[in-house]
Amino acid sequence: MRRFVPRLVASPPARVLLTRGPIAAGIVDRFVAGPTDADAVAATARLADRGLRASVDLLGEGVTRPDDALATVLAYLRLLDLADRAGIGAGLDVSVKLSALGQAVPRDGRKLSYENAAEICARAAAVNATVTVDMEDHTTTDATLDTVVELRRDFPSVGAVLQAQLQRTEGDCRDLARAGSRVRLCKGAYREPAGTVHCGRPAVRVAYARCLGILLAGPGYPMIATHDPALIGVAGRLAAQLRRAPATYEYQLLHGVRPGEQRRLAAGGATVRVYLPYGPDSVPYLTRRLVEKPANLLLAVRALGSRHGS
């Protein structure tokens, strides 16, 4: 299934199925807040009512034209302004992909993506929100981390993302486990070549636990992004052993994935943030969710079936 799903969802008919076909509602509604910034703000407000925070991600990546990168910036600025007017800007986090901000634009992409990210960071700071720079495939890791370092000179709260599946990540954790450093640790959902990653789910789980130990033992602010019950258990035990106060780290789970666990962790006093994607370009994100766990497709189909049967 993990080999078949990427080929399936890359086909034009599958794109229609994921976004406009009869199954679209079951898939998109489960994992995506909606197509507009108003949808994202409304979903953020609903999460806040349940004691959950949000990290909002405007879907879209790999732009190659400056105008498209500018459109992404303007969309994030609108989102932040709308959240501020709704009274939920403070404490909100926005996740940005540098490839959506122009990193791949010929010649000046690196500079352009930094400047665009800095503009979003400035608006976020004005409404007491934060920004986390998402990680993409392994070819961009160094450039992304370098940009995070540059952004932190003016915006110290900018968060970084590390993927435990990459063999290099343990060293990156040691470099980033510093005071004031916000680091989201995830397993990683990109298909990477052999030699760059730990192979197999057990190996990735072990690598995640090692990286988690480094981050929790350091003075930074770890963001524990996993749905794996075993790793959530490891995180809780490590935090207790290291006497980490709940306010000094947080759990992050995807919108639509294990909502009961989100509520359970929050009810136990943990800080819980939901990764909340929105926007009309949902196919690449949904593809990664289906590749990461093909059973998600079955869950969405079942949700659709129960909706039609009700």
- Kindly list the catalytic residues: 134, 184
Distance CA 85, CA 44 (A): 13
**Is 271 known to sit in a ligand binding site?**
no
**Is 293 known to sit in a ligand binding site?**
no
**Is 163 known to sit in a ligand binding site?**
yes
Residue type for 139, please? T
Angle at Cα 137 formed by Cα 173 and Cα 179, nearest 5°?
25
**Is 138 known to sit in a ligand binding site?**
no
Residue type for 217, please? A
* Helix segments in the chain, DSSP class H: 4-9, 12-19, 24-31, 37-49, 66-85, 109-126, 141-154, 169-176, 201-217, 229-241, 259-267, 283-292, 295-309
Answer whether 88's CB lies under 8 Å from 45's CB: yes
Nearest to 275 by CA among 40, 114, 57: 57
Q: Name the β-bridge partners of 253.
A: 274
**Is 227 known to sit in a ligand binding site?**
yes
**Is 111 known to sit in a ligand binding site?**
no
**Is 132 known to sit in a ligand binding site?**
no
Name residues whose C-beta falls within 8 Å of residue 196's C-beta, 6 or more positions apart in sequence.
138, 166, 167, 168
Distance CA 40, CA 89 (A): 12
**Is 187 known to sit in a ligand binding site?**
yes
Distance CA 187, CA 177 (A): 17
**Is 152 known to sit in a ligand binding site?**
no
**Is 226 known to sit in a ligand binding site?**
yes
Numbered residues of the known binding site for substrate: 97, 288-289
Numbered residues of the known binding site for FAD: 135, 163, 187-189, 226-227
